[in-house]
Chain A
Amino acid sequence: MEIVKNVVCPFCGTLCDDIICKVENNEIVGTINACRIGHSKFVHTEGAMRYKKPMIRKDGEFMEISYDEAIDKAAQILAESKRPLMYGWSCTECEAQAVGMELAEETKAVIDNTASVCHGPSVLALQDVGYPICTFGEVKNRADVVVYWGCNPMHAHPRHLSRHVFARGFFRERGRPDRTLIVVDPRESDTAKLADIHLQLDFDRDYELLDAMRAVLLGHEIHYDEVAGIPKELIYEAVEVLKKAQFGILFFGMGITHSRGKHRNIDIAIMMVEDLNDYGKFTLIPMRGHYNVTGFNQVATWQSGYPFCVDFSLGYPRYNPGETGANDQLQNKEADAMMVIASDPGAHFPQRALETMAEIPVIAIEPHRTPTTEMADLIIPPAIVGMEAEGTAYRMEGVPIRMKKVVDSELLSDREILEKIVERVKEIKASK
Chain B
Amino acid sequence: MSEIILTPKEQPQVPLEAKNITPDAFAGKTIDEIKELKIWHGNIQVALSEFFDVDGESAENASEMKIIIDGDVYNTKRIGQKMTAGEITVKGNVNMYVGVEMKGGKLTVEGNAASWAGQDMEGGELVIMGNAEDYVGAAYRGDWRGMSGGKITVYGNVGSEIAEYMNGGKMIIKGNVAIMPGVHMNNGVLIIEGNVVARVGGEMAGGTIVVKGVINEFLAGFKYIGVEKEIEVDGETIPGAFYKFKGDHATKGANGTVYAAVAGNGHIVP
The answer to whether any beta carbons of A and B sit under 8 Å apart in the complex is yes
Q: Which residues of A contact B (CB under 8 A)?
A: 81-83, 107-109, 124, 127-128, 207-208, 210-212, 214-215, 218, 220, 222-224, 227, 260-261, 264, 267-268, 271, 275, 312-314, 319-323, 332-334, 336
B82 to chain A, nearest CB (A): 16
List 7 contacting pairs A-B, 8 Å CB cutoff, sorted by A. Answer: A127-B141, A211-B250, A227-B220, A264-B183, A271-B250, A313-B40, A336-B14
Q: Which residues of B contact A (CB under 8 A)?
A: 13-15, 17, 40-44, 96, 115-116, 134-135, 140-142, 144, 160-161, 179-180, 183-184, 198-199, 202-203, 217, 219-221, 223-224, 247-252, 270
Decide if A223 touches B43 in the complex (CB within 8 Å). Answer: no
9 tightest CB-CB pairs across the interface, nearest first? A82-B42, A108-B43, A223-B270, A214-B250, A212-B220, A127-B142, A83-B42, A313-B43, A215-B221
Partner of A82 from B14, B134, B250 at Cβ < 8 Å = B14
* Complex contacts, A83 vs chain B, CB 8 Å: 14-15, 42-43
Decide if A211 touches B248 in the complex (CB within 8 Å). Answer: yes
* Complex contacts, A210 vs chain B, CB 8 Å: 250
Decide if B203 touches A224 in the complex (CB within 8 Å). Answer: no
B49 to chain A, nearest CB (A): 18
* Complex contacts, B17 vs chain A, CB 8 Å: 314
* Complex contacts, B179 vs chain A, CB 8 Å: 260-261
A128-B144, A211-B219 are known contacts; what are 9 more A-B pairs with Cβ within 8 Å?
A82-B41, A83-B43, A107-B43, A127-B141, A218-B252, A223-B224, A261-B160, A275-B252, A314-B40
Decide if B220 touches A261 in the complex (CB within 8 Å). Answer: no
A282 to chain B, nearest CB (A): 15
Complex Cα distance A333/B11, Å? 13
Partner of B221 from A124, A212, A261 at Cβ < 8 Å = A212
* Complex contacts, A332 vs chain B, CB 8 Å: 15
B96 to chain A, nearest CB (A): 6
Decide if B43 touches A314 in the complex (CB within 8 Å). Answer: yes
Complex Cα distance A245/B135, Å? 37
B118 to chain A, nearest CB (A): 15
A308 to chain B, nearest CB (A): 12
Complex Cα distance A211/B140, Å? 24
Complex Cα distance A260/B197, Å? 11
Decide if A220 touches B249 in the complex (CB within 8 Å). Answer: yes
Knowing A211-B220, A261-B180, A314-B43, say if A322 contacts B203 (CB, 8 Å).
no
Complex Cα distance A336/B13, Å? 8
* Complex contacts, B116 vs chain A, CB 8 Å: 320, 322-323
Decide if B203 touches A271 in the complex (CB within 8 Å). Answer: yes
Closest to B41 in A: A82
Complex Cα distance A208/B219, Å? 6
* Complex contacts, A108 vs chain B, CB 8 Å: 42-43
Knowing A268-B250, A336-B42, say if A322 contacts B134 (CB, 8 Å).
yes
Decide if A261 touches B184 in the complex (CB within 8 Å). Answer: no
Decide if A264 touches B40 in the complex (CB within 8 Å). Answer: no
Knowing A82-B43, A108-B43, A334-B15, say if A214 contacts B221 (CB, 8 Å).
yes
* Complex contacts, A260 vs chain B, CB 8 Å: 179, 198
Decide if B250 touches A223 in the complex (CB within 8 Å). Answer: no
A213 to chain B, nearest CB (A): 8
B24 to chain A, nearest CB (A): 19
* Complex contacts, A268 vs chain B, CB 8 Å: 202-203, 250
A291 to chain B, nearest CB (A): 27
* Complex contacts, A334 vs chain B, CB 8 Å: 13-15, 42
Knowing A268-B203, A322-B135, say if A223 contacts B220 (CB, 8 Å).
yes
Partner of B96 from A211, A218, A323 at Cβ < 8 Å = A323
Closest to B119 in A: A320
Complex Cα distance A195/B5, Å? 66
Counting chain A CB atoms within 10 Å of each CB, which of B96, B203, B247, B251 scores highest? Answer: B203
* Complex contacts, A109 vs chain B, CB 8 Å: 43
Complex Cα distance A349/B30, Å? 48
Closest to A359 in B: B13
Complex Cα distance A279/B69, Å? 58
Complex Cα distance A218/B15, Å? 47
Closest to B139 in A: A128
Complex Cα distance A82/B13, Å? 10
Complex Cα distance A362/B198, Å? 40
B159 to chain A, nearest CB (A): 10
* Complex contacts, A128 vs chain B, CB 8 Å: 141-142, 144, 184
Decide if B250 touches A323 in the complex (CB within 8 Å). Answer: no
Decide if A220 touches B251 in the complex (CB within 8 Å). Answer: no
Partner of A271 from B44, B220, B251 at Cβ < 8 Å = B251
* Complex contacts, B203 vs chain A, CB 8 Å: 211, 267-268, 271
Closest to A222 in B: B220
Complex Cα distance A333/B183, Å? 29
Closest to B219 in A: A211
Complex Cα distance A332/B133, Å? 13
* Complex contacts, B115 vs chain A, CB 8 Å: 322-323
Closest to B197 in A: A260
Decide if B180 touches A264 in the complex (CB within 8 Å). Answer: yes
* Complex contacts, B140 vs chain A, CB 8 Å: 320
* Complex contacts, A124 vs chain B, CB 8 Å: 141
* Complex contacts, A322 vs chain B, CB 8 Å: 115-116, 134-135
Complex Cα distance A369/B265, Å? 55
* Complex contacts, A107 vs chain B, CB 8 Å: 43
Decide if A223 touches B223 in the complex (CB within 8 Å). Answer: yes
Complex Cα distance A322/B17, Å? 16
